[in-house]
Structure 1
Amino acid sequence: MPKRLSLSQLRAVDRLGNFSLAARDIGVSQPSVSTRVQALESQYGVRLFHRNGHEVEATPLLKEILPSIRSVLAVTEDIETLLDDQHALNVGQLAIGYSTYQIAVPYISRYMKTYPDIRVEARAMASHDLLPELESGQLDVCFITAREIPSHLVGHEICEARIVLAVPRDHPYSGRASITWDEAVAYPLVQREKSSGTRRIFEASARLARVEPNTILGVGSWGSIVTMVKLGLGLGVAMDVEILPSDELVGVEIAGSGLRARQYAVCLPQMQSVRAVSRFLDLIPGRP
């Protein structure tokens, strides 16, 4: 099949009726145009132009295929424009998953303001529910809660947070700097679902302390935990960065527990080179 440059030259010669004018129009030498046309005619054993001195005219065969040539060139130009726009982030899409909106939403908002032409889709899930979506290609980037980045992923740490009990401001624990594990499990607890990174870290630490948390409810969002705690159903388990002044709750640490979690922005290794993904990760402070 003739290359794009050959098709462009055929179209230019037909439009201008002269090899020299066609060469000047597309910015190449006249011999290169005439040589390429002759090569095509020789390769396919056909006549594409009738020559009459310096003037040329398309043969019936060329006239028949010129609409197809124009279509191919138009589609090629459209593809090149799309790729250029994608490189410049003038078009495209990015699917983001997050487990903690208090951390993720500011980054998502900043990205959308910086690249307004990128269509962003954001989904909230527990950390361990996000990972299969990332691995299957349904998500491009994820914010997860974990002790470390999973070995098959790449990413960057955003912050480290304490895992605390979220208690009402009028609760007996609210004025204390910390409580013991025995005091923590003396009350019913409201946690995220079992696939939550925060819950997994909390319960692993409880096992090491040889205590059994009295989790009465697992819910799908921090907002649900806040509501349940305010209704007096139990104390919440959360990262301290999740607790906002508007929640009217206080975070109380469990003494000696070393309960810490990190938030990471992660992606599959092969997705690092995707421009929309790399530009999002560039927003993470301290990224190398």
Structure 2
Amino acid sequence: MRYVQLRAFHHVAISGGFSRAAAELYLTQPAISDQVRKLESEYDVLLFNRERRQVTLTPAGEELLAITRRLFDAEGQALELLSESRALRSGRLRIVADAAHHIVHVLRVFRERYPGVMVSVRSGNTETVVENLLAYEADIGVLGDLNPSRDFDIIRLNATPITAFTSRDNPLAGTSSLSLTELAALPLVGREVGSKTRRRLEEAAAKTGVELKFAIEAEGREAVREIVASGLGIGFVSEAEFGLDPRLVKITIRGEPVLMDEALICLSERSQAKTIRAFLDLARSMSPDMS
């Protein structure tokens, strides 16, 4: 009894025909038929009834199928285990994030568990995160809230209010809070078009009948920070992303909080890749709402 003969029998049995089994195994139909005939001949047993182009299992074939199901299921599990082990020993994980600090706690545990996986982290706004995932140039994205989409698996991380900030030398540095209306009259430093922070602020302002006009537009959070620190205006950032910078002070935005929801996302079709699934499972277990 040869492995190829059992494999041929199994695929004919589960697919219901020699032609379909041949297609599944990328073999010719005569080759599949020959392997099954040799198996039947060697053990003098009839495994299939072949009548009018229909193939059905004999009682002996039914019993053998029960065994081969266990055999090939175990083979699949073994392959899964071995390939997963290899991927998590020496694989690669590419992350693109609008703010990497939202996943530092997950990344720390992931590195402890899978030290052989090389992780790269790049920055980008919401639009570039999505573009990178769709182009297969990144495996996982971190971004401001994304509307539910069947293309992506999404894990909510946290939600924090947007805060204004200015340089410590600015005359407004001692102000504890400002409304959106008051802010609209000041020189503002904003992120580039495509930034979720900017879009959330503009949407919140529009609801109150206010239009925010940015005196300076800068690409990236760090660029905004440096411009504001030099005394050129008021910037905005998620409170969780403000960090510790002695040059800057926060100013609360008065009124209903403008929240930034952060999410971990990946393409649904790639969510079962070994390294991606390991990171997602870990993030899900550490997510506050276990989403």
Q: Same fold (TM over 0.5)?
A: yes
Give deviations 1:235-273, integer Å, cap 9, x for gaps.
Answer: 111111111123532222222243111100011222222
Give deviations 1:82-139, integer Å, cap 9, x for gaps.
Answer: 9715346112221111001332344334423321111222211001211121122221
Secondary structure in 1 aligned to 2:156? strand
Secondary structure in 2 aligned to 1:116? coil
- Give unmatched runs, 5+ long, in structure 1: 7-35, 44-79
User: Compared with structure 1, are the counterparts of its residues 267 and 226 closer, same or farther at alpha carbon in structure 2 (3 Å cutoff)?
Assistant: same
CA distance in 2 between partners of 1:263 and 1:99 (Å): 9
User: Compared with structure 1, are the counterparts of its residues 4 and 167 closer, same or farther at alpha carbon in structure 2 (3 Å cutoff)?
Assistant: farther
Q: 1:20 maps to what in 2?
A: none
User: Compared with structure 1, are the counterparts of its residues 191 and 110 closer, same or farther at alpha carbon in structure 2 (3 Å cutoff)?
Assistant: farther
* Aligned amino acid, residue 279 of structure 2: F
Q: 1:182 maps to what in 2?
A: 181
Q: Say whether the 8 Å CA contact 1:192–1:218 is kept in structure 2.
A: yes
Q: 2:82 maps to what in 1?
A: 84
Q: 1:103 maps to what in 2?
A: 102
CA distance in 2 between partners of 1:151 and 1:188 (Å): 40
CA distance in 2 between partners of 1:150 and 1:168 (Å): 39
Identity score, percent? 23
Structure 1 position 234, deviation (Å): 1.1
Give deviations 1:131-177, integer Å, cap 9, x for gaps.
Answer: 12112222111101126544532221111111111112343443444
CA distance in 1 between partners of 2:113 and 2:187 (Å): 44
Q: Is 1:215–2:193 an aligned residue pair?
A: no
CA distance in 2 between partners of 1:191 and 1:112 (Å): 35
Q: 1:130 maps to what in 2?
A: 129
Q: 2:266 maps to what in 1?
A: 267
Q: 1:50 maps to what in 2?
A: none
CA distance in 2 between partners of 1:147 and 1:253 (Å): 25
Q: Is 1:258–2:257 an aligned residue pair?
A: yes
Q: 2:118 maps to what in 1?
A: 119
Q: Say whether the 8 Å CA contact 2:165–2:235 is kept in structure 1.
A: yes
Give deviations 1:46-101, integer Å, cap 9, x for gaps.
Answer: xxxxxxxxxxxxxxxxxxxxxxxxxxxxxxxxxx9897153461122211110013
* Aligned amino acid, residue 250 of structure 2: G
Give deviations 1:177-220, integer Å, cap 9, x for gaps.
Answer: 42122221122211221111111111111222222222123323
Q: Say whether the 8 Å CA contact 1:86–1:92 is kept in structure 2.
A: no
Q: 1:242 maps to what in 2?
A: 241
CA distance in 1 between partners of 2:92 and 2:146 (Å): 29
Secondary structure in 2 aligned to 1:131? helix
Q: 2:156 maps to what in 1?
A: 157
Aligned residues: 220
Q: Say whether the 8 Å CA contact 1:198–1:261 is kept in structure 2.
A: yes
* Aligned amino acid, residue 141 of structure 1: I
Equivalent runs, 1:193-232 vs 2, <5 Å: 193-232=192-231
Secondary structure in 2 aligned to 1:102? helix
RMSD value, Cα: 3.0
User: Compared with structure 1, are the counterparts of its residues 235 and 81 closer, same or farther at alpha carbon in structure 2 (3 Å cutoff)?
Assistant: same
User: Which protein has the larger Cα radius of gyration, Structure 1 or Structure 2?
Assistant: 1
* Aligned amino acid, residue 239 of structure 2: D
Q: 1:59 maps to what in 2?
A: none
CA distance in 1 between partners of 2:124 and 2:187 (Å): 24
Q: Say whether the 8 Å CA contact 2:90–2:117 is kept in structure 1.
A: yes
